[in-house]
Amino acid sequence: MPRPENPALIDTFGRVATDLRVSLTDRCNLRCTYCMPAEGLDWMPGEQVLSDDELVRLVRIAVERLGVTDIRLTGGEPLLRAGLEEIVARITALSPRPKLSMTTNGIGLARRAAGLAEAGLNRINVSLDTIDPETFVKITRRDRLSHVLAGLAAARDAGMAPVKVNAVLMRGVNEAEAVPLLKFCLAEGYHLRFIEQMPLDAQHGWNRGEMITAAEILAKLEASFELTPFPAARGGAPAERWLVDGGPGDVGVIASVTRPFCAACERTRLTADGAVRSCLFSNDETDLRSLARAGARDEEIADAWRATMWGKLAGHEINDAGFAQPIRPMSAIGG
Ligand code: SAM
Ligand code: SF4
């Protein structure tokens, strides 16, 4: 199908991508078992990673020419990116000003939250799969729970709103944590989102029979809380939400595997080495870094980005017999 003249990131299914996930680095200081092996991964060589100027240029093209309105910084661990505060300030100085959020493991956030908020960061998601210190070490292979909790509190104190918590449940590891995590988040004013475990780990350890489904998560929560569907429309948001015990606290479930939301997807992705992807699960990507380093003009880069998104598939196909896990793991795409 020929692509109509349209500056936005449209695809053949009528979706329009306005939400950009930018990975700032593939490195991480945790080793969550559902994400990467104990020994870590072969990190991208420094010269392959976009410089700050290259990164901000690509984001600017997305905002100025492609209609991107929402940006989320992620990784790897985005707090490990040198000059993060400066990157935040440069992105939020773009016009029209995009909404800026970040997904982080929270380590080091305690001393940086105020500066990040001042630089323009609006919202934050902190990953936390358990509030039990031993289980935390089992999952992340590092003894850092207190750092994450301090990071969360600092984000709230810095006025980032909402502060969200992302949790992945694993059978036999932290499945009993659903209720304690929700109690903790309600008490602290954080918005909890459970994410179904996806086949995106570098060591290909995902197993459909082992994953905890959205239905199981809800059943666990409903044993202790009354959940009612959230009144506001979901739009393109990945989380389905419920009010807890009549509100105002809420809880969400991102059921990428058992209740895919691809039909309403508004996302486009930029990896730390400058590849644009139309989906976490796509096997195609377009190398914008080489184009940029070869001297391409802004509009040429914008056109390459548009062409990539035009080819976005209908869905991620995890539930199809022929599903093949993408070559890049989650930490190198940007979760
Ligand atoms: N390091 C940061 C963090 O952990 O928040 C940002 C990157 S991490 C890849 C982004 C999110 O992806 C985290 O909330 C993490 O729990 C989630 N994640 C990682 N591997 C996953 C998997 N296999 N299935 C589902 N979620 C996953
Ligand atoms: Fe690091 Fe985030 Fe992956 Fe955990 S989920 S290993 S914190 S990138």
Was 279 annotated as part of a binding site? yes
pLDDT interval class at 109 (50, 70, 90): very high
Report residue 14 as tokens. 């009528």
Q: Which is the closest atom of ligand 2 to the Cα of 31?
A: 6
User: Do the annotations mark residue 81 as ligand-binding?
Assistant: no
Average pLDDT over residues 2-12: 96
Closest by CA position to 270, among listed 117, 34, 61: 61
Does the annotation flag 112 for ligand binding? Answer: no
pLDDT band at 35 (very low <50, low <70, confident <90, very high): very high
- Per-residue pLDDT reduced to its tens digit, 228-275: 999 888 887 889 999 999 999 999 999 989 988 899 999 999 999 999
Domains along the chain? 9-333 (3.20.20.70)
Cα separation, 239 vs 301, whole angstroms: 31
Task: Tell me what pLDDT residue 201 has.
Answer: 85
Please give the pLDDT value at position 261: 85
> Residue 151: nearest ligand to its CA?
1
Q: What is the pLDDT of residue 180?
A: 97
Instruction: Kindly state if the Cβ of 282 falls inside 6 Å of ligand 1.
Output: no
Confidence at residue 320, expressed as pLDDT on a 0 to 100 scale: 74
pLDDT above 80 (res 146): yes
The CA distance from 321 to 237, in Å, is 27
pLDDT reported for residue 283: 82
Q: Is 76 annotated as a binding residue?
A: yes
**pLDDT reading at 318 higher than 90:** no
Residue 203: predicted pLDDT = 85
Q: For residue 133, how far is its CA from the centre of ligand 1 (angstroms)? A: 19
Q: 101 CA distance to ligand 2 centroid (A)?
A: 17
Average pLDDT over residues 288-307: 98
Length of the chain: 335
| CA distance linking residue 21 with residue 9, whole number of Å | 14
Matching residue, tokens 């240029």: 57
Residue 185 in marked binding region: no
Query: For the whole model, what pTM was predicted?
Result: 0.96
Using the predicted structure, report yes or no on whether residue 73 has a pLDDT greater than 80.
yes
pLDDT of residue 141: 98
Provide mean pLDDT across the span 123-134. 98
Residue 65 alpha carbon to ligand 2 centre in Å: 32
- Percentage with pLDDT > 90 across the chain: 84
Q: Please check the confidence at residue 330 and state whether its pLDDT lies above 80.
A: yes
Q: How confident is the model at residue 209 (pLDDT cuts 50, 70, 90)?
A: confident
Instruction: Find out whether the beta carbon of 272 lies less than 6 Å from any atom of ligand 2.
Output: no
> Ligand 1 test: best mutation among 270, 330, 331, most atoms within 8 Å of CB?
330
Ligand 1 centroid – CA 11 distance (Å):
26
Ligand nearest to the CA of 103: 1
32 is in an annotated binding site: yes
pLDDT at 315: 86
Per-residue pLDDT averaged across 152-168, rounded?
97
More confident residue, 319 or 279: 279
Q: Does residue 319 surpass a pLDDT of 80?
A: no
Ligand whose nearest atom lies closest to the CA of 280: 1
Confidence of residue 14 (pLDDT cuts 50, 70, 90): very high
Q: Write down the pLDDT at residue 284.
A: 87
> What percent of the chain is modeled with pLDDT above 70?
100
Tens digit of each residue's pLDDT (9 = 90 or more) over 187-207: 999 999 999 999 888 888 888
What pLDDT does 95 receive? 97
Protein residue whose Cα sits closest to atom 4 of ligand 2: 32
Is 28 touching ligand 2 by the criterion CB < 6 Å?
yes
- Which of 21, 25, 142, 168 is the pocket-test mutation for ligand 1 (most atoms within 8 Å of CB)? 168
Which ligand places an atom closest to the C-alpha of 36?
Answer: 2
Centre of ligand 1 to C-alpha 1, Å, is 35
Mean pLDDT of the chain: 95
Q: Cα(85)–Cα(120) distance, rounded to whole angstroms?
A: 9
Output the pLDDT for position 236.
79
Q: Whose CA is nearest to atom 8 of ligand 1?
A: 335
pLDDT for res 159? 96
Pocket test for ligand 1, best of 30, 35, 123 (most atoms within 8 A of CB): 35
**C-alpha distance across the termini of the chain, in Å:** 30
pLDDT mean over 108-135: 98
